[in-house]
Amino acid sequence: MTDLLSLLSLPAVLRGLVAMVVCGIFLPVAGVAIVALNIYPLRFTIMHTALLGLAVGGWLGAPPVAVAMVLCAATGAGLGALAPCPRSAAAAMGFLMPVVIAVAFLVLAATGVHATDAFALLWGSVLVASWGEVGVLTAVGAGMLGLACAGRRQLALYLLDPELAWTSGVETRRLGALLLTILAVAMAASVRLTGALLVDAVTILPALTARAMATSLTSMTLLAMVAGLTGNLLGFALALVLDIPPGPILVITAGGLTLAAHLVRTPIRRRHP
């Protein structure tokens, strides 16, 4: 415990801890929407777009993460415009993934931007996060959570069944485009902190953990936030104590929580069919 506290006194480790808390609280909210709508390919589409943004940012001398966020927001809005609802956007995502990554490699080859630099940003690391990056993610996450709370009823109906939401008078096309844009921006804002490896650990896995125990969208969202925060703090502490890279142990910890939730759920369902 003494060694752990002494490590937390280091500025980089303290920033990493705060980043893990922020990611654990806010990013599982995005995971809930992704799981509910079954739009898992969105993560890969956004990560590919983020790589293009990092390459363009390095070429133009602009902040790479800011460029990535702008391109990812445009991608989310474009997907929303192309598809009636996010569930029907799989074809558009399948088209964008190879095209965007091809353009990214062309930019890297044509401009002389070092691919290793771009990929280093894409993989991310919580231990190299700046307070500014943590602040941006906090603002994006708080905004996402605020919008979810403000439109809770419409969003709950939409996540349950977009067609039912449309027949109930919800502007599903506009809501779907807004939702995809917000999800894209949230994942792009986290790329510097979590990277491609951790994005599932802080979005999808907490949502899957919560789905095993939740009885409503509200409870699923709250449980996902608890699972995300618990997994992040436990994994980060283990990484510090064991002196191993945080990425893999955070994924394993989040995966362990997900597996435990499903193992606990199975006996309960057997007793109460």
pLDDT at residue 151 in the model: 81
pLDDT at residue 108 in the model: 83
User: Which run of H or E residues covers position 152?
Assistant: helix 152-160
Instruction: Give the separation between CA 268 and CA 230, rounded to whole angstroms.
Output: 23
The CATH number for 214's domain is: 1.10.3470.10
The residue range of the domain holding 104 is 2-271
List the chain residues with pLDDT less than 50.
267-273
pLDDT at residue 272 in the model: 43
DSSP for residue 40: T
Question: Number of structural domains, the chain?
Answer: 1
Considering only the C-alpha atoms of the chain, give the largest distance between any 2 of them, rounded to a whole number of Å: 62
CA 231 to chain centre: 15
CA 66 to chain centre: 16
- Tens digit of each residue's pLDDT (9 = 90 or more) over 142-174: 988 888 888 888 888 888 888 888 888 888 888
Nearest Cα residue to 236 out of 20, 1, 6 = 20
pLDDT at residue 268 in the model: 46
For residue 10, give every residue at least 6 positions away whose Cβ sits within 8 Å of its Cβ, in sequence order, or none.
Answer: none
pLDDT at residue 256 in the model: 93
